[in-house]
Amino acid sequence: MGTEDTNRAIEAAHAAFNSYKKTSARQRAQWLRKWSDLCLENSQDLALILSLENGKTLAEAQGEVKYAASFLDWFAGEAERVYGDVIPSANLGQRILTFKQPLGVAA
């Protein structure tokens, strides 16, 4: 991958981010769960690719696909737990509210 390919990938990520940042945490979690489901549905094919690329046994590669899918499920749960914080203020009767939002593409 050269500089031109890298720049195109960064530009595409920036373009996608503009719509992605408007999605809810629940929608993002659903996407991650769908990705996990697709990995499991296609685990035989993915395992074969891993086996051919890395010389792993099919059994080991299938385990790796299932393990990867479990991470996607875990992060889907985390995506739904994006909570803000309420912090007591030094000023009586006031509170400070923090919230989390996507920052953008890191390159």
pLDDT in tens, 26-82: 999 999 999 999 999 999 999 999 999 999 999 999 999 999 999 999 999 998 887
Burial of 81 (0-12, 13-18, 19+ CB in 10 A): exposed
Q: What is the mean pLDDT of residues 81-85?
A: 82
Instruction: List the beta strands (DSSP E) in the chain.
Output: 85-88, 95-98
Count Cβ neighbours within 10 Å for each residue of 92-103 and write b for 16 or more, e otherwise: eeeeeeeeeeee
49: number of CA atoms within 13 Å, CB side? 8
- pTM assigned to the model: 0.73
